[in-house]
Every structure is written in structure tokens, then in C-alpha cells.
Chains A and B, each alone.
Chain A
Amino acid sequence: MKRKPVILVVASSGGHLTQAMCATSTVELELALVTNKNMLEGSRFARIHTIRDTQSNVLIHALNVFSAARILLQERPQAMFSTGGPICLPFALLAKLTRTRFVYLDTMSRVTELSNSGKLIQKLGLFDSFLCQWQETANKYSGAEYHGQAFDLGDNGYQ
């Protein structure tokens, strides 16, 4: 039986996941999620994988490469999408090695410069598309594109 095409979304819980859900809201393919803490119930993700989280512990990142490889073997995604945080690094690396399309959206919360994960992905060229949510910041990094923000920060509807 032919597998359904899957998009693998990698996003830490909280704001990264919120932005990923907004940004993939029109994707009609099956979505699977990798996150650090699963606080979702009844979401549109077909499957949810959890992975250890760290900001700078190299050992955990190294172990996560194996976890990421296992998840990729299981999901065999057509493409990957991530809004960070650092849990996305092994996926970005494996995407490069396996020539899987990797689309990265740097978090809206970094206004004046990229997030640390974003900087690393940009510097090492571990992306097929790199989107930044602030025009001026996008201009500072080669390969970064600006196409607006995941959700409207304005005060429409407020009185």
C-alpha cells in the first residue's frame, strides 16, 4: 500500500508550536509533530513524537540525532517544517544528509536578530527555505526571506 505523504513539523511547546500551527494551517497533507512536551489533546496532528529538550547540552543534541533518525525512518516525510527551538537542530542536519526539504521559520519573538538555532541553521545552510518574521532582520542574513508574521500582532478588533 502506498504511504500517505507526510509533512513533519518540529516545534517546541508553547510559542514555537503556536506559530507552527498557524503557518501550516493550509497544508492539506498529513501532519506529524515532534515536540518537547506534549500538551496537546485532539489536535490536527496524526502522530505526536516527543524528544528531549536542551538549549546547549551537546550530549543531548547528539542523542537527539539518533531519536530524530528513528522518527524520520518511521515517518519518511516528504518535507519538514520547523519554527524552532533547539530541538530542530538534529532534524535540520538529517534533512540535509537525506536531501529532505527543510523549511524553517524563525520565531517572531526574535525581533532584532535571529534566534540561536536560526543563526546556526542559516550559517550552516541547513535549509531549503529560511523565513524570518521581521523584514529588517531578514535583510541582515543571506538566504532569509520575509513573508509576514505567523499571526496578526495588531490591535484590530480592540476598542
Chain B
Amino acid sequence: MVKPLILVTMGTNDYPFTRLYNHIKNDPLYNDSRCEWFVQTGSCTADQPPASGVVETLIPRADMEDLVRRSALVISHCGIGSLNLMLKYRKRVIFVPRVAEHKEFSDDHQLQIAAELKNSRMHVVFPNDEFPQLDYQKILDDNVLSEPVDITNYELARIVNLKLTG
């Protein structure tokens, strides 16, 4: 049986996101070899590898897209690049916005965009919320969607093209 893949992504920015890493490494499933983990940490130092899986700092964009496609659950910072991929592959996601208070970014814009998400498959962990405990059976039972949908706004693209070339 193929192990369900849990993908963690902290994006490409230069601020470490230790709070998210600590939530993850303390989850029982992190130390449970029934799940496969891929943890992309950016500039965060990961001192403890998962029972099964890998930790990387940065990976090529195409590799990230392939990991998203294959994953049963994604745990992600609330960056726009990550959000775009998760919407494109209709993933089940736990978003953890970075906050300035913990020096996870220079400002709280990830909280603003998180508040705009109205999506039944996307759960946001706001700063005062408990990080949800992961449920193996739920992850296993969830139907993994891997076909992308095109979410590009071609109307905006048309206007940008006109402004650049018209």
C-alpha cells in the first residue's frame, strides 16, 4: 500500500518559521512511519527528520508542483505562491499564516489573505488557535485529487497584455 504523503511547505522567503516546524514535529504522525512526509523549510532549521520522509530547504518549482499533486494533505504557510498551487490542485490544506509578532515575516499580510479564504477544504490556524491534531484515518480516506484546474484570471491577463503591448 502506498503511504499517504503529507507535504509541509514554508515557501521561499528568508524568515524562519520555527513555530510551524514545532507544531509538526510534535504531531504523533510525524513520528509514525505509516505516513510519508516531505518538509520544505525555506530558511527554517529542522533538527528532527520525520520517521519516514525528507526535509529540504528549497526545491525547484516543478518538483514542488509534483509534490503538491501527489499529497493527501498539505500544511503550508499562507504565501500566495503556495495558495495558488493548493487551489490549482484542490488540496486539503492546513494553512498557518506567518505573523510579525514571532518574527515570521516583516508584517501580518498573511493574516489578511488567510481571512479572505472561504474554502471548505482549507483550514486556517490563526495565531490564537490550537494546531489541529492530524488524523491518520481521515488522511487515508480522503480522495487525493491530482488533476489541476486552471484558475488563471484571463480577463486580468488580457488587460495586462493590452497595457504592455497595446
Which residues in A have some Cβ–Cβ distance to B below 8 Å? 7, 12-19, 22-29, 37, 39-42, 53, 55, 78-79, 81, 101, 103, 105, 107-112, 115, 128-129, 131, 147-159
Contacts and interface: CB of A to CB of B under 8 A. Distances in A.
B60 A41 contact: yes
A128 B164 CA distance: 10
20 contacts: A7-B164, A7-B165, A13-B81, A14-B11, A14-B79, A14-B80, A15-B11, A22-B84, A28-B161, A37-B12, A39-B59, A40-B60, A40-B62, A41-B62, A53-B14, A101-B163, A151-B153, A155-B118, A155-B121, A158-B90
Contact of B152 (A25, A103, A105): A25
The number of chain B residues touching the other chain, given as a range, is 35 or more
A155 B118 CA distance: 7
Given A39-B12, A79-B165, A111-B109, A148 B156 contact: yes
A77 to B, nearest CB: 10
A148 B12 contact: no
A149 B87 CA distance: 14
A45 to B, nearest CB: 12
Interface string B112-144: 110111111100000000000000000000000
B110 interface: yes
Contacts of B158: 26
Given A39-B60, A41-B62, A151-B152, A24 B161 contact: yes
Contacts of B85: 18
Nearest to B58: A39
A147 B80 contact: no
A114 B58 CA distance: 28
Given A25-B154, A28-B161, A151-B153, 7 more contacts: A15-B79, A16-B81, A18-B81, A24-B164, A27-B161, A29-B164, A131-B159
Q: Is the interface of B mostly helix, strand, loop or mixed?
A: helix
Contact of B151 (A26, A79, A151): A151
B47 interface: no
A15 B84 contact: yes
A152 B58 contact: no
Contact of A27 (B81, B110, B160): B160
B81 to A, nearest CB: 4
A115 B101 CA distance: 18
Contacts of B79: 14-15, 109
B112 A153 contact: no
A155 B12 contact: no
Interface in B91-124: 106, 109-110, 112-113, 115-121
B112 A23 contact: no
Contacts of A27: 157, 160-161, 164-165
Nearest to B143: A159
